[in-house]
Structure 1
Amino acid sequence: MQQIVLPIKDDKTLKEVQTLLLRNKRVGRRNFTLFQVGKATLLRVSDVLNLKISDVYTATGQVKTTIYLHDQKTGKGNHVYLNPVKRELKIYYQWLIAQRIESVWLFPSTRDFSRHLSDRMFYKVMSNIGKQLDLNYLGTHTMRKTGAYRVYQQSEYNIGLVMHLLNHSSASSTLSYLGLDLTSQQRALDKIDFG
């Protein structure tokens, strides 16, 4: 049976997940930053894991404002805005230096710096956090779905913006991706003044 991965919809749960990601002394900063980048850029986990240091940082270690890449799954071009996660990326860069991690990959494997962290290993990280918090819906796409849900809510339900950021071609697939169940739909409709 395939696991259903949903966005984290409440701030308390999101903070708990972030705290647990950071808690691991050896790789917590990497895992936390990976989650934050995925959430802020709305990239698929495969695209986040394939980012290189040179994609994100200038030669002097400054965080780039935007990057351009092609989605691995769709091949579509994607302009990615990094300002929302700039602070975390600055801290992470200093952490990489302090840990003496030299890799071309933004999120290297700790076993072999010449490889990036695998999506399977990141799934284990998220699954473990799910078990600790008694949440059965965390997975590798949690960060992307959470970011999309937060953009949707905080942009006053601008589905067009979310579709564009996710590189989706239909509103119905985006709404489904956001995990909008009947209760969420009813809450949204309760806020509408039908005159």
Structure 2
Amino acid sequence: MKQLVLPIKDSNILHEVQDTLLNNFKYGRRNYTIFQVGKATLLRVSDVLALRRNDIFNDDGTIRKNAYIRDKKTGKQNTLYLKPVQNSLIAYSQWLKDNSIDSEWLFPSIKNPSRHISEKQFYKIMAKTGDLLGINYLGTHTMRKTGAYRVYIQTNYNIGLVMELLNHSSEAMTLKYLGLDQVSRERMLDQVNFD
């Protein structure tokens, strides 16, 4: 049976997930930063984990304004705006230095730094986080879905922007991806003044 992965819609739960990723694992700073980058860029986990340091950092160690990648699944070019995740990346860069972790990968495997962390390993981290918090809908796609949901809500329901950021071709696909079920639709409709 396929696991149901949903966006984290409640900010308090989001903060608990982020805090758990950061503080309940030996390599928490890496795990937290993976989540933050995925949430801010709306990339699929495979694309987040495949980022290289030189995609994100300039030669002098500063963070690029944009990263340019090709999505693995779609093959489409993708421009990532990095400013929303800049502080997390600065802290992460310092953590890598402090722990003498040297790799071409932005998110290296700790056991084998010549490779990046695997999707399977990151899934285990997300599942463990869900177990610790009693949340049954966390997975590797949580960060992408959460970022998409937050963009949607905080841009006054700009579905076109969310579709573009996700590289989706239909509004229906994006709405389903956002987890906008009947309860969510009713909650939004309750905010509309029909008088």
- Shorter-normalised TM range: over 0.9
Specify the alignment match of 1:34 in structure 2.
34
Where does 1:1-195 land on structure 2 (aligned, <5 Å)?
A: 1-24=1-24, 26-195=26-195
Change (3 A) 1:25 1:173: closer
Cα displacement string for residues 5-63 of structure 1 (whole angstroms, at most 9, x for unaligned residues): 00000011111101110114530000000000000000000000000000000001100
Q: Which moved more, 1:4-13 or 1:185-194?
A: 185-194
Cα displacement string for residues 108-157 of structure 1 (whole angstroms, at most 9, x for unaligned residues): 00100000000000000000111111111000000000000000000011
Cα displacement string for residues 137-194 of structure 1 (whole angstroms, at most 9, x for unaligned residues): 0000000000000000000111001001111110000000000111100111122233
Task: Give, in whole Å, the separation in 2 of the partners of 1:132 and 1:102.
Answer: 30
State the TM-score, normalizing by the size of structure 2.
0.98
| Unpaired segments ≥5 residues, structure 2 | none
3-state secondary structure, aligned to 2:68? strand
Q: Please tell me the root mean square deviation across aligned C-alpha atoms, in Å.
A: 0.9
Cα displacement string for residues 54-80 of structure 1 (whole angstroms, at most 9, x for unaligned residues): 000000110001011111000011111
3-state secondary structure, aligned to 2:126? helix
> Aligned letter for 2:174?
T
Q: Which moved more, 1:184-193 or 1:116-125?
A: 184-193
State the TM-score, normalizing by the size of structure 1.
0.98
Q: How many pairs are equivalent?
A: 195
| Unpaired segments ≥5 residues, structure 1 | none
Change (3 A) 1:25 1:137: closer
3-state secondary structure, aligned to 2:67? strand
Task: Give, in whole Å, the separation in 2 of the partners of 1:156 and 1:71.
Answer: 27
Task: Give, in whole Å, the separation in 1 of the partners of 2:178 and 2:13.
Answer: 17
3-state secondary structure, aligned to 2:102? coil
Task: Give, in whole Å, the separation in 2 of the partners of 1:64 and 1:71.
Answer: 19
Cα displacement string for residues 59-111 of structure 1 (whole angstroms, at most 9, x for unaligned residues): 01100010111110000111110000001101111110110000000000010
